[in-house]
A = this chain, B = another copy of it.
């Protein structure tokens, strides 16, 4: 568990896109982000108060979260000295970078001296069990996609927010680096050893109140040749009661696979229901979430109406129109 609130480190981000981790935290856990730390020349701005390390600590910050992707795959000397100062000033560090904090000797030494924590959220920190497939109490909803990166995390977060606003019991369950940094905990599923994948998801979504919903962050796609095994572990470990189908309609081929077309929403529905039905025969599709970012408002509305008529299910873009109708689809 990463201690909050956070100071968001934006580094020397060349634009806001490079700081999408920080953006996710600000959008979905605004109470957890009390300030931002920007280096000279930083072009990203989360609209949060700019703070020095000392100001952030005085304001109650517990962890400096690296909210920016680093260029060239290395932690630059300029970053390193700020991260080291943050430890000395009284903050833990959390990062989803490929280059691990724990592989930087100066950070390890400083964290040890000052009794601070280094959270590398790409590395699983728990010893997971083998999945046992036993039915658990409480409800679970899983977003599954026709492809990778079609808005599964956004959909789950938007549904959680809507459900909490309605007074329902709901918890977003992170399975990727960004989601873990947003919520402070979760399972970095793509870094888990194969045999323990499904077990890690059972661990993440344990028994709960009968009226509590886990909103599980999806990963990959059952149709994606590179990552389908990860997705199936999520389906079988997550034991969903409800599925949300996620899609991006303008993509010419599967992400990273030029030889593969995206499957239809019907094919995704049928395969996902078959697979999830193995562990939960009562599973159903609650709705369809479409990422229409590449469409005009009119195109998006037309497309969603067509999908809704064709599939007989609520079809929305939660970014444009909210996740209310997806939540309405839950039984």
Chain A interface (Cβ < 8 Å from any Cβ of B): 71-72, 98, 129-135, 189-195, 197-199, 222-223, 225-234, 236-237, 254, 256-257, 259-260, 263, 271, 274-275, 278-279
In angstroms, Cα B194 to Cα A256, docked, is 17
- Taking a contact as CB atoms under 8 Å apart, the answer to whether B133 and A230 are in contact is no
- Taking a contact as CB atoms under 8 Å apart, the answer to whether A194 and B192 are in contact is yes
- Taking a contact as CB atoms under 8 Å apart, the answer to whether B198 and A189 are in contact is no
- Taking a contact as CB atoms under 8 Å apart, the answer to whether B257 and A194 are in contact is no
- Taking a contact as CB atoms under 8 Å apart, the answer to whether B133 and A259 are in contact is yes
Which residues of the partner chain B approach A192 to less than 8 Å between Cβ atoms? 193-194
In angstroms, Cα B87 to Cα A44, docked, is 56
- Taking a contact as CB atoms under 8 Å apart, the answer to whether A229 and B198 are in contact is yes
Central interface residue in A132, A228, A231, A274, by most chain B CB within 10 Å:
A228
Chosen A-B contacts, 18 in total, with CB atoms closer than 8 Å, are A133-B226, A191-B194, A192-B194, A195-B230, A198-B225, A198-B227, A199-B226, A222-B275, A225-B236, A225-B278, A226-B236, A229-B229, A229-B230, A229-B233, A229-B236, A231-B232, A232-B232, A263-B278
Which residues of the partner chain B approach A223 to less than 8 Å between Cβ atoms? 278
- Taking a contact as CB atoms under 8 Å apart, the answer to whether A134 and B259 are in contact is yes
Partner pick for A230 among B194, B225, B227, CB 8 A cutoff: B194
The residue of chain B having its C-beta at the shortest distance from the C-beta of A189 within the complex is: B194
- Taking a contact as CB atoms under 8 Å apart, the answer to whether B193 and A194 are in contact is yes
- Taking a contact as CB atoms under 8 Å apart, the answer to whether B232 and A229 are in contact is yes
Top 5 A-B residue pairs of the complex, sorted by shortest distance between their CB atoms: A229-B233, A133-B225, A190-B195, A229-B229, A131-B226
In angstroms, Cα B231 to Cα A236, docked, is 12
Which residues of the partner chain B approach A257 to less than 8 Å between Cβ atoms? 132-133
Contact flag A236-B228 (CB < 8 Å), given A189-B194, A193-B194: yes
The residue of chain B having its C-beta at the shortest distance from the C-beta of A223 within the complex is: B278
